[in-house]
Amino acid sequence: MSFEWPWQYNFPPFFTLQPNVDTRQKQLAAWCSLALSYCRHHKLYTLDVMEAQESPVFNNKKIERKLSMEAIQVVFEELRKKGNLEWLDKNKSRCLVMWRRPEEWGKLIYQWVSKNGMVNSVFTLYELSNGDDTEGEEFHGLEEWMLLRSLQALQTEGKGEIITMDDGKGVKFF
Amino acid sequence: MRRGVGAGAIAKKKLAEAKYKERGNVLAEDQIVQMSKQLETFKSNLEEFASKHKQEIRKSSQFRVQFQEMCATIGVDPLASGKGFWSEMLGVGDFYYELGVQIIEVCLALKHRNGGLITLDELHQRVLKGRGKYAQDVSQDDLVRAIKKLKVMGSGFGMIPVGGSYLVQSVPAELNMDHTVVLQLAEDHLLKEGLAWLDSQAPGEAQYWLPALFSELTHRDVTPEEANQMTP
């Protein structure tokens, strides 16, 4: 299924940071939404800022408009404030994109576990993210750092416990 | 008898003049009476015409246009007042009044999306849609007339010529215009009002875009969520 661009994507001024404060708010909200859905569609969990500039999301070649580096930083800062983005380095050149927050992932994983009657079982992280059984689930292919955070969220809720095993980590669900 | 000058001739002349004048007056009076009679006939013919065609006036926009033009030639404005012959006999006023109300409804419903500016085309489409199955034909000419009447009532409505058509403005706002190709508007004002977005990557000078005119939006239905994304 191909990605559906929102109307703003083809609206040239969308790629210019708006001077009017109220308009800018609307604009940023739309950018955040677009960035997150794009990452979600393509299952992107990290973004490199330099690469992002050339990515179709921020660069619409058809209408010859792209977001400036400054504007991209503003959008990313907005995402960070909302809890959907985390910088991996001090220089802000790479970031984690959480188009779904850890709690939300945790919920999905737990639902799958209980639906399949596997509460009280132990899973390795690998089994959860890459096992045959989970193919077709949304969290299949989830990157380890994200998976870990999601399980940590479940742990906080008392729904599981992360355990360390010989060759890696695992989790037991309650 | 010799025609000649002399006191007698002058007197005769004067008498003749007086008689002609009198005759002239009589003739003039005659004409006036004639004219009154004609007007009476005209009026009753018109009334007959009106009641015969009342339905058609409500139904056919083309008929309405021609009717309006006919009235204009005679020097009659059928929408001039709510009372009187025209509106009572024809209900012409009613038709435009109702249309005016519809126009206001459409503009108010979309104001949060386009800031109170709408193209005449889009207004037309939406009014037709709103009229539904029993749709009486409504033309753009009808809309323009109805809007002109709304203007007179001081409701904040106005029309701005753009290209070959109009933008209908339903919110009072000061707009400066340049009649060249597109609407050129006071930078500060439109941006401030949130009616325009700035495009600084346009070749040449910075450009301003009005979401209200963004054709991709006007030609399909916008969800309420999308609508909220456009203007504050």
User: How many Å apart are CA B231 and CA B209, to the nearest integer?
Assistant: 12
Q: Which two tokens stand for residue A18?
A: 């708006």
Report the residue from A7, A29, A30 with minimal CB separation from B216: A7
A77-90 confidence digits (pLDDT tens): 999 998 899 999 99
Q: Are A93 and A106 members of one domain?
A: no
Q: Domain range spanning residue A127?
A: 102-173
Q: Are A75 and A131 members of one domain?
A: no
Q: Is residue A113 part of a domain?
A: yes
Q: Is residue A162 part of a domain?
A: yes
* Most confident of the ranges A100-104, B9-13, B176-180: A100-104
Whether residue A110 has pLDDT greater than 90? yes
Q: Which of A76, A65, A78 is nearest to A12 (CA)?
A: A65
- Which H or E run contains A138? none
Q: Are A18 and A65 members of one domain?
A: yes
Which sign does the torsion angle of CA A86, A88, A90, A91 carry?
negative
Is pLDDT larger for residue B129 or for residue A48? A48
* Most confident of the ranges B46-55, B68-77, B142-151, B217-226: B142-151
Concatenated DSSP letters of chain B: -----SHHHHHHHHHHHHHHHHHHHHHHHHHHHHHHHHHHHHHHHHHHHHHHHHHHHHH-HHHHHHHHHHHHHHT--TTS-SSSHHHHHH-HHHHHHHHHHHHHHHHHHHHHHHTTEEEHHHHHHHHHHHH-TT-----HHHHHHHHHHHHHTTSS-EEEEETTEEEEE-S--------SSS----HHHHHHHTS-EEETTSSSS-EEE-GGG-HHHHTSPPPHHHHHTT--
Q: Are A14 and A93 members of one domain?
A: yes
Q: Is residue A1 part of a domain?
A: no
Q: Are A164 and A131 members of one domain?
A: yes
Give the Cβ contact number of residue B111 at 10 Å. Answer: 15
**Per-residue model confidence (pLDDT) at position B181:** 31
Q: Is residue A117 part of a domain?
A: yes
Distance from CA of A9 to the nearest CA of B (A): 11
Q: Which two tokens stand for residue B119?
A: 């193209």
Report the residue from B194, B201, B216 with minimal CB separation from A23: B194
Which chain B residue is nearest to residue A16, measuring alpha carbons?
B199
pLDDT bin (cut points 50, 70, 90) of residue B192 is low
Is pLDDT larger for residue B93 or for residue B139? B139
B201/A8 touch (CB, cutoff 8 Å), yes or no? no
**Per-residue model confidence (pLDDT) at position A172:** 93
Q: Is residue A2 part of a domain?
A: no
Are B231 and B211 a contacting pair, CB within 8 Å? yes
A16/B216 touch (CB, cutoff 8 Å), yes or no? no
Which chain B residue is nearest to residue A27, measuring alpha carbons?
B229
State which of A97, A120, A137 marks the end of a domain: A97
CATH number for the domain that contains residue A130: 1.10.10.10
Q: Is residue A121 part of a domain?
A: yes
CATH number for the domain that contains residue A88: 1.10.10.570
Distance from CA of A71 to the nearest CA of B (A): 13
Q: Are A82 and A147 members of one domain?
A: no
Domains of chain B listed by start with CATH number: 94-218 (1.10.10.10)
Q: Are A86 and A137 members of one domain?
A: no
User: How many Å apart are CA B144 and CA B208, to the nearest integer?
Assistant: 27
Report the residue from A13, A25, A66 with minimal CB separation from B197: A13
State which of A45, A68, A97 marks the end of a domain: A97
A64: left (phi over 0), alpha (psi -120 to 50) or beta: left
Q: Are A142 and A67 members of one domain?
A: no
Q: Are A124 and A139 members of one domain?
A: yes
The number of CA neighbours under 13 Å toward the Cβ of B44 is 5
Q: Are A86 and A114 members of one domain?
A: no
A23/B217 touch (CB, cutoff 8 Å), yes or no? no
Q: Which of B226, B227, B189 is nearest to B208 (CA)?
A: B189
A66/B201 touch (CB, cutoff 8 Å), yes or no? yes
Is pLDDT larger for residue B42 or for residue A124? A124
Is pLDDT larger for residue B192 or for residue A47? A47
pLDDT bin (cut points 50, 70, 90) of residue B218 is very low
With H, G, I as helix, E, B as strand and everything else as coil, classify residue A1. coil
Q: Which residues of B touch A58 (CB under 8 A)?
A: none
Q: Are A83 and A31 members of one domain?
A: yes
Number of domains in chain A: 2
Q: Is residue A163 part of a domain?
A: yes
Distance from CA of B227 to the nearest CA of A (A): 11
Give the Cβ contact number of residue B25 at 10 Å. Answer: 10
B197/A19 touch (CB, cutoff 8 Å), yes or no? no
Q: Are A141 and A120 members of one domain?
A: yes
Q: Is residue A62 part of a domain?
A: yes
State which of A46, A75, A97 marks the end of a domain: A97
**Per-residue model confidence (pLDDT) at position A107:** 94
Are B102 and B157 a contacting pair, CB within 8 Å? no
Q: Which two tokens stand for residue A92?
A: 């802000």
ipTM above 0.95, yes or no: no
The reply to whether the predicted model has a pTM over 0.80 is no
Beta strands in chain A (DSSP E): 46-48, 59-60, 65-66, 85-87, 94-97, 122-124, 160-165, 168-173
B26-61 confidence digits (pLDDT tens): 777 888 888 878 777 776 776 677 667 777 777 777
Is pLDDT larger for residue B92 or for residue B215? B92
Find residues 170-229 of chain B whose CB sits inside 8 Å of chain A. Answer: 191-192, 194, 197-202, 207-209, 211, 214, 216-217, 226, 229
A19/B191 touch (CB, cutoff 8 Å), yes or no? yes
A11/B209 touch (CB, cutoff 8 Å), yes or no? yes
